[in-house]
Structure 1
Amino acid sequence: MPFGKYKGRRLIDLPEEYLLWFARKDEFPAGRLGELMAITLLIKTEGLTKLVQPLKRP
């Protein structure tokens, strides 16, 4: 995450509530970051986080 309270965290590591806050406000950032945040929220809400974990770099 390039800004805010969670600056420096991977998107998949952001709390679901934080992503939901953006979604409720309908204000994901413009561009690729917003797209990735929306996809991350979908992954989390559908319970698919474990599929992404093996892809994380140490």
Structure 2
Amino acid sequence: MEVFPDKRKLIELAHYRMPFGKFKDRYLVDLPEAYLVWFKQKGFPEGKLGLLLKSTLEIKENGLESLIRKIQKEFPPLKL
């Protein structure tokens, strides 16, 4: 089975910033892993933010942050 990640979603995740709280305006990939684990334990927010936080945790747990940082450098944020 082949997996084809959605490029637009990866670009969006790479440029998405935390909209509230102690880490407001930080890129999700720059959030501490412990903060993401806390969200996992308490429950991720509903909607897009929750999905992006969950994805970011999986990326960090698998040591793939460098891929997201490469996307940040090579692809501009999407115009919505």
- Stretches of 4+ moved more than 6 A in 1? none
Which deviates the most, 46-55 or 28-37?
46-55
* Greater RCO, 1 or 2 (C-alpha within 8 Å, sep 6+): 2
Q: Between the two proteins, what is the percent identity of the paired residues?
A: 54
Structure 2 unaligned spans of 5+? 1-17, 74-80
**With structure 1 as the length reference, what TM-score do the two structures score?**
0.90
1:24 corresponds in structure 2 to 41
The RMSD of aligned alpha carbons is 0.9
**With structure 2 as the length reference, what TM-score do the two structures score?**
0.66
- Aligned equivalents of 2:32 and 2:72: distance in 1? 16
> Structure 1 residue 10: deviation in Å?
0.8
Aligned length: 56
Structure 1 unaligned spans of 5+? none
